[in-house]
Amino acid sequence: MKTIDVKLLNRPYKILIDFGLLKRTGQLIEPFLTGEKVAIVSDEIVWNLYGKILLESLNGIKHQVFIQPSGEETKSIKYFEDLCEHFAEIGLMRTDLVISFGGGVVGDLAGFASASYMRGVSFIQIPTTLLSQVDSSIGGKTGINLKHGKNLLGAFWQPKLVISDVSLLDSLEEREFQAGMAEVIKYGAIESKELFDSLLKYADRKEVMKDIVNIIYECCDIKRRIVEHDELDFGERMKLNFGHTFGHAIERAGNYKKHTHGEAVALGMIIASKIGERLGITASGCSDKLIDVLSQHNLPISADLDYKELIDYIINDKKKNKSGINFILLKDIGKSIIHSIDADDLFSLFERGI
Q: Are residues 327 and 183 in the same domain?
A: yes
Structure confidence at residue 94 (pLDDT): 96
**Residue whose C-alpha is closest to residue 13's, from 224, 237, 232, 287:** 224
Structure confidence at residue 347 (pLDDT): 84
Residue spans of alpha helices (H) in 60-192: 77-89, 104-116, 130-131, 174-191
DSSP H or E run through 202? none
- The pLDDT of residue 214 is above 70: yes
Structure confidence at residue 193 (pLDDT): 98
Which of 171, 186, 201 marks a domain boundary?
171
User: In the chain, where do the E strands start and end?
Assistant: 2-6, 13-18, 38-43, 63-68, 97-102, 122-127, 141-146, 149-156, 161-165, 320-321, 324-332, 335-341
Tell me the angle at which helices 261-279 and 174-191 cross, rounded to the nearest 10 degrees: 30
Q: Are residues 202 and 155 in the same domain?
A: no
The secondary structure of the chain in percent helix, strand, coil, rounded to multiples of 5, reads 55, 20, 25
Q: Are residues 187 and 332 in the same domain?
A: yes
Which of 136, 171, 206 marks a domain boundary?
171
Q: Are residues 18 and 113 in the same domain?
A: yes
Q: Are residues 186 and 319 in the same domain?
A: yes
Give me the domain span that covers residue 46. Answer: 2-171
Q: Tens digit of pLDDT for each residue in 112-167?
A: 999 999 999 999 999 999 999 999 999 999 999 998 888 999 999 999 999 999 99
Q: Are residues 46 and 141 in the same domain?
A: yes
Q: Are residues 191 and 159 in the same domain?
A: no
Number of domains comprising the chain: 2
Per-residue b or e along 182-206, where b marks 16 or more CB atoms closer than 10 Å to that residue's CB = bbbbbbbbbbbeebbebbeebeebe
d(CA 264, CA 345): 23
Q: Are residues 82 and 223 in the same domain?
A: no
CATH number of the domain residue 62 falls in: 3.40.50.1970
d(CA 26, CA 46): 18
Q: Tens digit of pLDDT for each residue in 234-256?
A: 999 999 999 999 999 999 999 88
Kindly state the greatest CA–CA separation across the chain.
64
Q: Tens digit of pLDDT for each residue in 62-79?
A: 999 999 999 999 999 999
Q: Are residues 181 and 167 in the same domain?
A: no
Which of 171, 192, 221 marks a domain boundary?
171
Q: Are residues 84 and 179 in the same domain?
A: no
CATH number of the domain residue 211 falls in: 1.20.1090.10
Q: Are residues 79 and 188 in the same domain?
A: no
Q: Are residues 225 and 283 in the same domain?
A: yes
Whole-structure pTM value: 0.94
- The pLDDT of residue 226 is above 80: yes
